Amino acid sequence: MTMAFEIFGGPVRVLAAPAPQDHHDQDYSQNKNYQRGMRDGHDDNVHNRDHYKKRKFKKDDDRNAYESGYQEGHRGNSQDHR
């Protein structure tokens, strides 16, 4: 968070920049990379592996969707997993 203080010439004002959005706030559930991450995470959890597959993505949003799905699948929160 960025803060600025004005001390000279009057009352003190505090200005704060908004916090950046976390990628966890987005709904990736229909994203194919999220679903692939769910499958990989669930599979790694079942086989007691830690992030077995390393994938590369061209876009940050695709990587974020995959990682979000992977974390959900690895924790066992795989309601969408079939």
SS3 68: helix
Within-domain flag for 68: yes
Domain total for the chain?
Answer: 1
Residue 54 lies inside a defined structural domain of this protein: yes
Query: For 51-64, what is the mean pLDDT?
Result: 87
Q: At what angle do helices 60-75 and 32-46 cross, to 10 degrees?
A: 30
Higher-pLDDT residue of 15, 60: 60
pLDDT at 11 exceeding the cut of 90 = no
The pLDDT of residue 82: 44
**Is the predicted pLDDT of residue 80 greater than 60, yes or no?**
no
Which domain does 52 fall in, by range?
3-75
**Dist. CA 6–CA 10, nearest whole Å:** 8
Residue 9 banded pLDDT, cuts 50, 70, 90: low
- pLDDT tops 60 at residue 4: no
